[in-house]
Structure 1
Amino acid sequence: MATDDRELDLAAALGAESEASTQVLSLYIPNKDRHGRPIRIAPWIREAQEILTRIGEGYTTTPPHDGGWETGGGKVRREKTVIVYTYIKPDRFLAHVAALREFLHRFGREANQDVVVVELSGAEGSWFFRIKQYDD
């Protein structure tokens, strides 16, 4: 980080680890199934929090957001969606990606979701992944 002609080592200035996390992994947990019926999301949120803690050493959960998605028939289905996110640590992410996949696919099947979404954002851009076919 440049300030005039001086360089600032922000990590050192803050007394932080030298390697900063630059990628955010976000999981979207809606309160309805594919047919618009309410589902109990508290257990899913807790499990998402546990997995993201293993990936990034912590998590943040947002309050529910108004959201919607288009059904196959072109109708807008409205829901409340909680977003759970973490700043990933690459080695920990790679170590737990199989558990993350298992959770996402099980959520899709057991919560009867039309689509499960995951967002990865960082300095190089943002990627929004849609999972529509679930592992058995």
Structure 2
Amino acid sequence: MKKVASGGELSRISLAISVVGSNNEHTPTLIFDEVDVGISGSVAEVVGRKLQELAGKYQILCITHLAQVAAFGHQHLCVSKSQNQEGAQTTVGQLSEAQRVDEVARILGGSSITEKTRNAAEEMIASSRAL
């Protein structure tokens, strides 16, 4: 399957198998790397909901580039990479609630966060919690 499916497709297949077999799963942590590649909009929202559903039983680690998926997360970590003369350095930090809103807004609108993108991010996060 690796020869014909992309990494995102394989990750979505893994998500589907995990959802279907979640009652029989004995793994405490499930990792999904860019499960959102090649999807958008309402499909991304469904993926976010399914991940949220699995999070009721397992610890989920999901690397995402879509606000629709990120909004469903319970806790957000931001991974950043910087380069200097000594080499590359990767840092991971837990985001506060305000930083989380800003990060979802940045995913929505790019590096310049406006009041509209921040409001949209807040609404997406609030909607995901209401489910």
- TM-score range with shorter-chain normalisation? under 0.3
TM score, norm. by length of structure 2: 0.25
Of Structure 1 and Structure 2, which has the larger fraction of its residues in helix? Answer: 2
TM score, norm. by length of structure 1: 0.24
